[in-house]
Amino acid sequence: MRRLIAALAVLALGSAAAAQERIVLGLSEDQVAITATFDGSDILIFGAVKRDGPPAGAPLDLAIAVSGPLQPLIVRHANRRLGVWVNTSSIEVDAAPSFYAVATTRAFSAVLSDTEDLRHAVSIPRAIRAVGTEVGNREDYIEALIRIRTREGRYRVIEGGVDLAEETLFRARIDLPANLVEGDYLARIFLARDGRVIDILETDIAVRKVGIERWLHALSLNQPLAYGALALSLAVAAGWAAAAAFRALRG
């Protein structure tokens, strides 16, 4: 009985310590405008840790994950057959973030345990959902997807990318590539000690097309015939202008 009481007391103290620390968040901006000349941007995520008592003994860590809209897709594997590359197998991914970046105070494995990563789906492989597939080497397809999107700048792991001062003030800068997909982006901030999450805060970042980009996007969706006619007219006008310029240079 004494051992049981002691164990319950330890659990109660641990819960109390975890409950004393909360995230207070700020954003440099909560909207990103995609214009005709958009070539990427960045968002500064900053804040503080509010606590009602002294900090616990284990080091405080943070992980910040920014995720773009989820999209279903097919990952294909190609082999060379008779000198031609052909798709030989594929898997269907139920939902993959169009953009995903995760920044941490130190090495990811030191910030979050595998159990916490599995529970909250923080790492890139855990953020991709590919359930229901019967392919035995599913992980190879997921790794290929991550490798391709990392090369494109759409998936990023930034270990040590979160600055934490005196276990109170934190900041991280997340770079956004030029090939952003329009939609609502989700920023999640995880506060952790000893690999265990003790607080989570979520906020949305709106990414929208504006100006001529927005008008053309709406026209292509709502009036495809008019959009096609406009595109054809612009192509004809560009061809005529190029031909006239060439004639002028020759003359």
Domains held by the chain: number? 2
Do residues 106 and 131 both lie within one domain?
Answer: yes
In a domain, 2, yes or no: no
Looking at the domain assignment, is residue 90 inside a domain?
yes
User: Which of 157, 194, 192, 183 is CA-nearest to residue 172?
Assistant: 157
For 242, the domain range is 210-251
According to the model, what pLDDT value does residue 186 have? 93
pLDDT the model gives residue 29? 64
The tokens of 77 are what? 């594997």
Q: Is residue 8 part of a domain?
A: no
pTM (two decimals): 0.72
pLDDT tens digits for range 160-209? 999 999 888 999 999 888 888 888 899 999 999 999 999 999 999 888 76
Strand runs labelled E in 145-182:
155-159, 162-165, 169-176
- Quick one: 221 and 132 in the same domain? no
Residue type for position 188: R
Residues 54, 136 within the same domain: yes
Q: Within this chain, do residues 193 and 219 fall inside the same structural domain, yes or no?
A: no
Q: Are residues 145 and 241 in the same domain?
A: no
232 vs 184: which has the higher pLDDT: 184
Own/partner contacts of 46-49, CB < 8 Å, gap of 24 or more, are 46/169, 46/170, 46/171, 46/172, 47/23, 47/169, 47/170, 47/171, 47/189, 47/201, 48/23, 48/24, 48/168, 48/169, 48/170, 49/21, 49/22, 49/23, 49/24, 49/167, 49/168, 49/169, 49/170, 49/191
Helix (H) / strand (E) element for 225: namely helix 224-250
pLDDT at 3: 40
62 and 175 inside one domain: yes
Assign residue 201 the CATH number of its domain. 2.60.40.3880
Task: Label residue 11 by pLDDT band (50, 70, 90).
Answer: very low
In a domain, 172, yes or no: yes
Q: Higher-confidence residue: 189 or 212?
A: 189
Domain assignment present for 6: no
pLDDT at 147 over 50: yes
Residues 121 and 238 placed together within one structural domain of the fold: no
Same domain, 176 and 102: yes
pLDDT (tens digit, 9 = 90+) per residue, 79-134?
Answer: 666 666 665 667 788 899 999 999 999 999 999 999 999 999 999 999 998 765 55
86 in a structural domain? yes
